[in-house]
Amino acid sequence: MSIPSSLMSKHHHHQGSSSSSSVGKSSFEDDNDITSHFMLRLAFCRSPELSNWFIKCEELLLQCVLHYYGQSALTKALQQTGVSNLINRVVGDTDMLPRHPTGDGKTSLVDMLRKATLGCNGGHQQPQQSSTTATTFYEIPFMYCSPHLISRRAVVIIGGMAYIPDTQLSSLLCKTYREELREHLRVALQERAVFMNDPRIATIVQQMHPTYRPSNGNSMDNLPDSEKLSLDNFNL
C-alpha cells in the first residue's frame, strides 16, 4: 500500500477507481489503489496496537520495494513526494569542517563524516543490506532527522544540521511516510462510524478483522476472497 506511484504500479494490480473520501489521499498513494488503501485504514485504525502493527508492516514493504529498485527509484520517490525539499545540499569533497565548535577549518567534512558513521546501519537496515561506507552525505535541518538514526549515531549533527549518509537516505522517506500514514489512520478512526453504515464497506472491513489481526495465527491459505468481494461491491 501507499508506495510512490512510479513503484506502486509494478507491485499492485487493481483496476482504476474513482472513489474518494474525507479519509484523504496520501502523497505516497496511487490513484489505481485508493479503494484498497481506504479499506485498510478503516480496518486498522481501531486501536493503537493495530495501527502501530499496520504502520510497521507498510514501512517494511516500502523499504523492500526501495531496496529492490535501487537508488534511482529512491531518488525519484523522494522527488515525487516532496521529501527531497528537506535536503539543503549535498556535501562536497572540498567542504571543510567548520572551525567552531569542533573543527579547525582544515579537515575535510566528508572524511570526518565517513569516519564518524563507519559501520553504522542506523537500525533501519534494508533487506540484504550490509554495512558499507557512505560515499555521499546530505545536509538537512536537525528537526527532520529520524530519531533512531541519531540514537544509533548513524548521522552527524553539527550546528543544528544533520548530515545523513546516502546509505540511510531512505530513512527520510520512511519517516515522512510513517507520519503521513499515522495521520490518515487518525482521520479514518474519526470517520469510521459513518462509513461502516454502508453495508458494502462494513462487510469487507469485518472480514478483514479476523484475517489480518496481528499474531492471530491464521493461515494465508484460508483467507477469504476479499478482492472478489471488493469487486462485487464496487464498480472499479
Whether residue 69 is predicted with pLDDT greater than 60 in this model: the reply is yes
Sign for the pseudo-dihedral over CA of 58, 63, 66, 69: negative
H/E stretch holding 89 reads strand 89-90
Buried b (16+ CB within 10 A) or exposed e, 107-126: eebbebbbeebeebbbebeb
- Would you say 170 and 126 are in contact if contact means Cβ atoms under 8 Å apart? yes
- Would you say 155 and 149 are in contact if contact means Cβ atoms under 8 Å apart? yes
Whether residue 55 is predicted with pLDDT greater than 90 in this model: the reply is yes
Whether residue 78 is predicted with pLDDT greater than 90 in this model: the reply is no
Whether residue 54 is predicted with pLDDT greater than 70 in this model: the reply is yes
What mean pLDDT comes out for the span 127-152? 72
- Structure confidence at residue 52 as a pLDDT band (50, 70, 90): very high
Q: What is the mean pLDDT of the chain?
A: 71
Whether residue 120 is predicted with pLDDT greater than 50 in this model: the reply is yes
Residue 141 DSSP SS3: strand
- Structure confidence at residue 232 as a pLDDT band (50, 70, 90): low
The pTM of this model reads 0.63
Whether residue 91 is predicted with pLDDT greater than 80 in this model: the reply is no
Task: Lowest mean pLDDT of 148-157, 170-179, 187-196, name the range.
Answer: 148-157
Which pLDDT score is estimated for 88? 80
**152 in the Ramachandran plot: left (φ > 0), alpha (ψ -120 to 50) or beta?**
alpha
How many C-beta atoms surround the C-beta of residue 142 within 10 A? 13
Whether residue 68 is predicted with pLDDT greater than 50 in this model: the reply is yes
Three-state secondary structure readout of 21-55: CCCCCCCCCCHHHHHHHHHHHHHHCCCHHHHHHHH
